[in-house]
Chain A
Amino acid sequence: MSVAEAGIARRTVERASSGQKVKDLLFRAALLLSLGVGFLALGVLLVDVAADGASSLSWDFITNFPSRISPERSGVQSALVGTLLLMVTTAVFIVPVGVASAIYLEEYADRDRWWNRLIEVNIQNLAAVPSVVYGILGLAFIVRAPLSLGTVVLAGSLTLGLLVLPVVIVVGREAIRAVPSSIREGSLALGATHWQTIWKQTLPGALPGIATGVILALSRAIGETAPLLVIGAALFTRFNPNDITSDQFTALPLTILRFVTDADAEFKALGAAAILVLLAILVVMNAGAVYLRNRYEQKW
Chain B
Amino acid sequence: MEASSPTTAGPPPGLIRQRTRRSVGEQVIKALLALAAVISVLTTTGIVVALIRDTVKFLQEVGVSDYLFGTEWTPLAGGDQQSFGVVPLIYDTLYLTAIGLLVAVPFGLGSAIYLSEYASPRFRRVVKPIIEVLAGVPTIVFGYFALTFVTPLLKDTLGIEVSTFNALSAGLVLGVLVLPTIATVADDALASVPQSLREGAFGLGASRMQVSMRVVFPAALSGVVAGIVLGASRAIGETVIILVAAGQLANLTIDPTEQMQNMAAFIAATSQADVSTQGTEGLTIFAVGATLFLITLVLNAISIRFVRKYRQVYE
Listed in ascending order, the chain A residues whose CB lies under 8 Å from chain B are 13, 17, 20-21, 23-24, 27-28, 30-35, 37-39, 41-42, 44-45, 48-49, 52, 96-98, 100-101, 103-111, 118-126, 128-137, 139-141, 162, 165-166, 169, 177, 181, 184-185, 188, 193-195, 219-220, 222-226, 229-232, 235, 253, 256-257, 260-261, 268, 271-272, 275, 278-279, 282, 286
Contact = CB atoms under 8 A, between A and B. Distances in A.
A93 to B, nearest CB: 10
Interface stretch (B62-70, B72-80, B201-209, B253-261): B201-209
B142 interface: yes
A35 B47 contact: no
Interface string B101-125: 0010011111101110010000000
Contacts of B35: 100
Interface in B236-251: 236-240, 243-244
B230 to A, nearest CB: 7
Contact of B134 (A41, A100, A185, A278): A41
Interface stretch (B81-89, B191-199, B289-297): B289-297
A130 B37 contact: no
A101 B10 contact: no
6 contacts: A38-B108, A100-B32, A107-B8, A128-B233, A260-B143, A261-B244
Main secondary structure of the interface of B (DSSP, over half): helix
Given A129-B296, A130-B239, 16 more contacts: A38-B176, A48-B145, A108-B34, A128-B230, A129-B47, A130-B293, A136-B289, A139-B271, A141-B50, A162-B43, A181-B8, A195-B25, A223-B140, A225-B240, A235-B272, A260-B144
A42 B212 CA distance: 27
Interface residues of B, number: 100
Interface in B179-195: 179-180, 183
Interface in B211-269: 212-213, 230, 233, 236-240, 243-244, 264, 267-268
B163 interface: no
Given A30-B110, A45-B141, A101-B37, A260 B244 contact: yes
B239 A226 contact: yes
